[in-house]
Amino acid sequence: MLNDGIVEVGSDVYLVPGSSTNWVIVKDGDIATLVDTGYPRDRERLLASLAAVGVAPQAVTAVLITHAHNDHLGAAEYLRRTHGTPVLMHRAELPHARREFLHQVSVGQVLANGWRPGVLPWAVHALRAGGTEHIPVVEPQAFPTESRLDLPGRPLPVLTPGHTDGHCAYHLPDAGILITGDALVSGHPTSRRRGAQLLPRMFHRDRARALDSLTVLEDLEADVLLPGHGPVLRSTVGVAVEHARELAA
């Protein structure tokens, strides 16, 4: 483990815990692919994490977005505007990133679940971290191909809708690593459960689709899973998916 909790999970692949959300840095020499960017007010932490692994912000070749919630999109527009960094995602997520609409948990849903352990403290943190700020990506781009991308790590986007309509995981076949975003997590401040799981029901646009999307993941070859929330999962994808299904039953 490096400074500030940065975990090197494979050769030149790093999981970075933000204030509540993880992002991933995949290096190739002095350039890198960045997957997600944390909350808006995680920006300084994000820039510090790049420096800690020897990557200048202008050397990020692309930001890959799992989905366009503020806790994953936070610094994407800053990097695009400041350094010209392409911000890439699935085509179905583009209008969400442009904020033509916003699909995320509502204030009403949070209040209705406020009696659950951890919900109100999480909500206060989300507000302080910029969870309700208006931060569209002005010019998001769809992946140029449906196969592996010509970026550090050669990531393969894997469409996993349900949490949002265009949610994507990213498979790094050469490293045996799967970046799961919020399609599969290992913990959350609003959940008492540990290990592979879906996020609580209120966070999904379509929970049934989110559950179905586990089928897309389970045959991928990886034994290190990097979730959007919670610690590294060192498990085959099949075992993690089975555990998540059992908890969701």
Residue pLDDT, tens place only, 80-118: 999 999 999 999 999 999 999 999 888 888 888 888 889
At residue 234, does pLDDT exceed 90? yes
At residue 3, does pLDDT exceed 90? no
Tokens 């990213």 belong to 170
Q: What is the mean pLDDT of residues 229-242?
A: 97
Q: For residue 249, what pLDDT is reported?
A: 75
Q: For residue 107, what pLDDT is reported?
A: 80
State pLDDT tens for residues 20-56.
999 999 999 999 999 999 999 999 999 999 999 999 9
State pLDDT tens for residues 184-223.
999 999 998 889 999 999 999 999 999 999 999 999 999 9
Cα–Cα distance measured from residue 53 to residue 8, given in angstroms and rounded to the nearest whole number? 9
Q: For residue 1, what pLDDT is reported?
A: 63
State pLDDT tens for residues 140-169.
999 998 899 999 999 999 999 999 999 999
Confidence of residue 60 (pLDDT cuts 50, 70, 90): very high
Q: For residue 4, what pLDDT is reported?
A: 77
State pLDDT tens for residues 165-187.
999 999 999 999 999 999 999 99
Contacts 24+ apart (CB under 8 A), 187-190: 187/227, 187/229, 187/230, 187/231, 188/118, 188/122, 188/229, 188/230, 189/20, 189/118, 189/121, 189/122, 189/125, 190/113, 190/116, 190/117, 190/118, 190/119, 190/122
Q: For residue 106, what pLDDT is reported?
A: 84
Please list, residue by residue across 43-60, b when 16 or more beta carbons sit within 10 angstroms of its beta carbon and e when fewer do. Answer: bebbbebbeebebebebb
Percent residues over pLDDT 70 in the chain: 99
Confidence of residue 225 (pLDDT cuts 50, 70, 90): very high
Q: Which of 36, 45, 42, 49 is nearest to 76 (CA)?
A: 36
